[in-house]
Amino acid sequence: MPMTPAAGAIAGQGGHCCFWPGRFRAGSGLQKKNDDMTAYTHSPVLQHSDLVLQHVPEAVVLINDRNDIVFYNDAAQTLWGIPRAEVMGKNVRCLVPPPYRADHDDFIARHRQSGKDHTVGTTRDVEFVTAGGETRRGRLSLSQVVRPGQAGTFYMGIMADVTQDYLAESILQLRNDLLRSLVSEKLPLDQSGEFLCRRIENTITDCCAVLLHPGGHDGRVDITATATLPRRMRNALAACVPGPAEIAAMKDNPAMALDLAWTRHTALARAFGFIGCEAVPVATHDGTPAGILAIYLRDAGQMEWARAVVKAALPFCTLALGRDAARQRISELSERDTLTGLLNRSSLNRYIVEMASDRQDAAFTVMVLNIDSFRDINNALGHIHADNFLRVVAKRLEALSAGHFIISRSSGDEFIVLIPDCPRALAMNQATRIIRAVADPIEVNDSTITLSVSIGIACYPDDGPDGESLLGHADLALQQAKSEGRGTYKFADSNKNRLAQDRLLLGSALHETVSKGQLHLHYQPQIDTMTGALYGVEALARWHHPHLGNIFPSRFIAVAEETGQIAAIGRWSLREACRQMGQWDRDGIHVPTVAVNLSAAHFGDHSVPEYIAGLLRTYDLTPDRLTVEITENVMMESGQTTHDVLQAIRDLGVGLSMDDFGTGYSSLSRLTRLPLTEIKIDRSFINDFEHDTNAQAVTTAVIGIGNRLGMTVVTEGVETEQQRQLLEDLKCDVMQGYLFARPLPADELEKWIRARS
């Protein structure tokens, strides 16, 4: 009974993958039995003894040259659950799974006409569907026979039900893969969960596996799944917020898991073709429900198989969730001050960085607090009571905050308070409240002690663009407060000495940054909107100073331009980006193109095009692998020299991109005169893109302009799936932003690319 080849036919085996999709079985006893039966059908003595075949324990089916069933024994009736009377004389495709019926006769005809049939004489494991709709697994052997007294060539198939053996083998392989990934790869929960879901989907036909676990935003669940989960289903599940009663109920009533994962979303799930779901609670080692493992099925016959797979995978879900909880606990301990439970300084720095980068339109305040005369308290009362004082101060700050402040104990008797949405006018009131709250008397050994604190205040963005400068200015203000009487607050004077300090620092350090590795590049991926493929990367300069730590580009680039050092940084960026591209090529990492930012100073230098050409030759790069980004200031200030340099760069075949388009005052007439290949829409248009119709209108216009001018349009700052969908609808060419990846060091970008391939 040869059948059509399955999708993804086995290559390199010298034959065709026919019958149901399955695996060849060499040396099978079943094939030997088939060969014996072939001999039997040739025997003139026993040619009429079909009664013998009738009692063979395996299913036996014979078809004639019209593919009609001419023999169907009792075991075949039992295997398929279809009575003999319903199949005799009918085309054998009635026994074939529905997806393979249409092309079945044509496939057999091709083999008969060619005289070659690589399925004959082989044994393979196949899927078949019973009369009740259950999908099972069989081991099938085929032979070509001649029945004496009857014209034509017959095919005989003999098949045994090996479903249980197949299930046991698949379960064993699944457990082995999951255990190996947990033990050896040590992936975070989202990656290990995705691996689990992918392996389940490879084990069960046409299903979608999902792991739901706590930890989402605002109490919602986190969803771990592969790309097979429809986006609307993902959003519906993510919006599910099980209450404490429901979580507790799952411990005694596991059916609650099915309610949360299926019953509440049945209509939507059925719209995507799912007809059933197997869902069970995932518990921690102490039996506390911590998540749900769900398998959504489009084939009702797979339900029993899904239950077996869930049972096998459940212990590994418990291990993954437990390991993630331990990792989170360790991370939490590493971020906290052990004495007060407040954040430590390094953790607070991350919040400042996040607020400064993600909330550029919002003001916030950094306050550095120091307990006055704390050394005297420590000496007089001892360390134990002094520690209690620090705990009291921490509790009072937390009570005053009511969850609105971010509070850190940075060292000894010093605290840092970060207050969101707090401009300078409000900072005075908050500082007064803090001073009064700390000043409430404290009882110690039948004595009453009153504390006082001095506060230094720095406001973003007036007093600095990043955490280092804000904390530095707040520290200077604190010293001023202490020197002028204590128990008070002072604001930072951000203008004093800042530019001089930055010029001195950069002027002396810039020459040695490259050799000592203090200046390096991060690369942010750019994604082709239509295909989802990697379009290229943007190279972004980063500086890690051995004493000052990470210095934001907004700080050192501006000062470098003022001090004339920007040309050195630009040339270094070009050289390092080209070197890295060459290295990726040698390592087999394909990055189509790299974009490098250059300042206006470079385009007054006629040697820049030749410098670029030399880099391309040195690192064996074609010109289309490099794009030079310019700002609108270059276009506004462009004279003949600037235009000549830009044209020379373009004549090399190197791309030219207009960065931050729409933020300056350039004219469209200048845009048409420059040899640009690309324009980049600034992230400021995307910040509230989903809700701001004006931003959408401007973006639509820019995309239209770029398309009509034959330029590629890149949109920066894409951070949400809704933004991505809107830009796709607007036919934006390329997208870039945190939705896809943050700027990454070269080695991390390699991992990111390999993970996508």
d(CA 305, CA 313): 12
% of the chain exceeding 70 in pLDDT: 81
Cβ neighbours, 10 Å, residue 570 = 22
Q: What is the mean pLDDT of residues 191-197?
A: 82
Q: Is 681 helix (H, G, I), strand (E, B) or coil?
A: strand
> Measured in Å, how far apart are the chain's first and last C-alpha atoms?
39
pLDDT band at residue 423, thresholds of 50, 70 and 90? Answer: confident
Calculate Rg over the CA atoms of the chain.
36
> Starting from the edge strand earliest in sequence, which strands make up the sheet with 154-161, in order?
24-25, 123-129, 135-145, 154-161, 59-63, 69-72
d(CA 247, CA 264): 15
Which amino acid, residue 108? I
Q: Where are the domains of the chain?
A: 24-161, 167-334, 345-494, 521-541+564-756
User: Measured at the alpha carbon of residue 15, what is the angle toward residues 9 and 16, in degrees to the nearest 5?
Assistant: 40
The first and second tokens of residue 356, run together, are: 């400064």
Residue 558 has pLDDT above 50, yes or no: yes
What pLDDT does 18 receive? 42
- Could you confirm whether domain 345-494 is CATH 3.30.70.270? yes
Residue 209 forms beta bridges with which residues?
Answer: 295
Which residues are CB-contacts of 426 (< 8 A; sequence separation ≥ 6)?
A: 365
Q: What is the mean pLDDT of residues 540-569?
A: 79
* Contact present, 197 and 296 (Cβ < 8 Å): no
Which residues are CB-contacts of 634 (< 8 A; sequence separation ≥ 6)?
A: 600, 603, 642
The DSSP H or E segment spanning 283 is strand 276-283
pTM check: above 0.85: no
Q: Is 70 helix (H, G, I), strand (E, B) or coil?
A: strand
Q: What is the mean pLDDT of residues 344-358?
A: 80
Looking at per-residue confidence, does 639 or 117 come out higher? 639
The first and second tokens of residue 2, run together, are: 């040869």
Provide the sign of the torsion angle of the four alpha carbons 700, 706, 712, 713, taken in this order.
negative
d(CA 224, CA 211): 5
pLDDT band at residue 153, thresholds of 50, 70 and 90? Answer: confident
What pLDDT does 625 receive? 96
The first and second tokens of residue 7, run together, are: 């999708």
d(CA 302, CA 515): 62
pLDDT digits (tens, 9 = 90+) for 279-288: 988 887 777 7
pLDDT band at residue 149, thresholds of 50, 70 and 90? Answer: low
Residue 560 has pLDDT above 70, yes or no: yes
pLDDT digits (tens, 9 = 90+) for 495-520: 554 554 555 666 677 667 756 767 88
Q: Give the domain 24-161 fold.
A: Beta-Lactamase (3.30.450)
Homologous superfamily (CATH) for 167-334: GAF domain (3.30.450.40)
CATH code of 521-541+564-756, in short, is 3.20.20.450
Which amino acid, residue 274? F
Residue 233 has pLDDT above 80, yes or no: yes
pLDDT band at residue 661, thresholds of 50, 70 and 90? Answer: confident
d(CA 450, CA 431): 18
Q: What is the mean pLDDT of residues 297-314?
A: 86
DSSP 20: S
pLDDT digits (tens, 9 = 90+) for 676-718: 999 998 887 887 777 888 888 888 888 888 888 899 999 999 9
User: Measured at the alpha carbon of residue 531, what is the angle toward residues 526 and 534, in degrees to the nearest 5?
Assistant: 30
The first and second tokens of residue 320, run together, are: 């993954």
| Helical pair 608-618 and 640-651, crossing angle rounded to 10 deg | 20
* Contact present, 113 and 105 (Cβ < 8 Å): no
% of the chain exceeding 90 in pLDDT: 27
Given the structure tokens 């104990």, which residue do they identify?
409
Smallest Cα–Cα separation from 158: which of 193, 208, 124?
124
d(CA 132, CA 537): 55
DSSP 302: G
Cis peptide before 743 (omega within 30 of 0): no
Q: Is 591 helix (H, G, I), strand (E, B) or coil?
A: coil
Q: Can you give the three-state secondary structure of 207-246, one letter per residue?
A: EEEEEEECCCHHHCCEEEECCCCCHHHHHHHHCCCCCHHH
Residue 367 forms beta bridges with which residues?
Answer: 417, 457
> Starting from the edge strand earliest in sequence, which strands make up the sheet with 222-225, in order?
222-225, 207-213, 289-297, 276-283
Cβ neighbours, 10 Å, residue 746 = 20
pLDDT band at residue 612, thresholds of 50, 70 and 90? Answer: very high
Residue 44 has pLDDT above 70, yes or no: no
Of 47-61, 105-119, 207-221, 257-271, the range with the highest mean pLDDT is 257-271
d(CA 538, CA 522): 8
Asked if domains 24-161 and 167-334 share a fold, the reply is yes
The first and second tokens of residue 646, run together, are: 């830009």
